[in-house]
Amino acid sequence: MKNLFTIILLLLFILFSFIIGIGVGFMISQEDGFSVGNRVAVLEVEGVILDSQPYLESLSKIKKDDGIKAVVLRIDSPGGAVSPSQEIYSEIKKLREKKPVIATLGSVGASGGYYIACSAQKIFANPGTITGSIGVIAQFVSYEDLLKWAKLDVAVIKTGEFKDVGSPFRSMTEADKKYIQQLIDNVYSQFKLAISESRKMDMKEVDKIADGKVYTGEQAKNLKLIDELGTLGDAISLAGALSGIKGEPNISYYPKKKMNLLDLILSKFDAKILVGGALKGTFGLFYLVDM
C-alpha cells in the first residue's frame, strides 16, 4: 500500500513538473522564443497610442532577425499623441529599406493610427473599417468659474506670457488660442505632407479630405487613402509573397506579451487578455479621433 502511495505521488510530481515545463516553454516562446524558419512578423498597434517604446523595441528586434522576411502592421487604433505616432512611422520607414511592410486596418485605423499605416508599402482595410480623421486636436478644461464659485484663489508665478497656456485654473485668452492654433497648424501640415508623400497624392487632393472626417474602408479606397479591401490574412499572404516565402508563412507576433501561467492557460481557451489604460488629461497635441 505504501509503495502504491509513493508511485501515485511520483506520478503526480511528474505530471506537475510537465505542466510547469509547458508553462515555462510557452512564456519563453512569448518572448523571443522558438520561432524558426522564414516568417512574417505581425506588429499589432492597438488602442490609444501614448507610448512608442514597445513598438520601437519590437521593430528593432524585427530588423535584426534575419528569419523575419516581411512585416504586417495590424492597426486597430483611433490614434494618439503626435510624437509617438510620428516616431513609429519613421522607424517603419527605415525598416522598409530591408523588408517589405504591409499595413492592414482593423475596426479602426484612424488619425495617428492611419498616420502609422502610411509608412507601409500597401494598406489593406475591411469595407466597414473606420479610417481617416486626418487632423490634430488639443482639448483643455477650465475650472475658473468653479473656483470662483468655491471662492478659491490660485496664485501662479511664471516667466512668460504663455508659460501656463492650457492651465485649468484660468480661461484661455485670444492670444493663447492663436498660439495653440499655430502649433496645431504646424503638426497638421506634417500629417498632410506624410500622406502626400507616402500615398503619392497631390497636396490639393489631401487638403480636400484632411478635414477631420472619418471614412469607411470602401470610401477610403475610392479616395486613395488605402490600396485594397482585404483582411489580415490577405495582408499576410501578400507580405509573404513579396518576401519570397513559399506557401503559407509562419507568423511571429509583436510586441511580445509577457503572461503568467494562468494567463497562458486561459488564452488557450480563447480568453481575451485585456490591457486597459485611461487617457490622461495632460497637455499635448493628438492625432486622435474625437467621437
Catalytic residue among 163, 177, 178, 213: 163
- Rounded CA-CA distance 11/4 in Å is 11
Relative orientation angle of helices 2-30 and 261-268, to the nearest 10 degrees: 80
Burial group, residue 9, by CB count within 10 angstroms (0-12, 13-18, 19+)? exposed
**Is there a catalytic annotation at residue 111?**
yes
Find the radius of gyration of the CA atoms of the chain.
Answer: 24
Catalytic residue among 85, 111, 237, 252: 111
**Is there a catalytic annotation at residue 198?**
no
Burial group, residue 229, by CB count within 10 angstroms (0-12, 13-18, 19+)? middle
Q: Which of 215, 44, 216, 46 is nearest to 134 (CA)?
A: 215
- Rounded CA-CA distance 281/291 in Å is 16
The DSSP symbol for 49 reads B
The residues, ordered by sequence, that sit 6+ positions from 175 with a Cβ below 8 Å of its Cβ are 161, 162
- Rounded CA-CA distance 170/155 in Å is 11
Q: How far is CA 266 from the centre of its chain?
A: 24
Q: Beta strand 101-110 with 68-77: parallel, antiparallel or unpaired?
A: parallel
How long a stretch of residues is the chain?
291
**Are the CB atoms for 49 and 84 separated by under 8 Å?**
yes
**Are the CB atoms for 179 and 162 separated by under 8 Å?**
yes
- Rounded CA-CA distance 110/106 in Å is 10
Active site residues: 111, 163
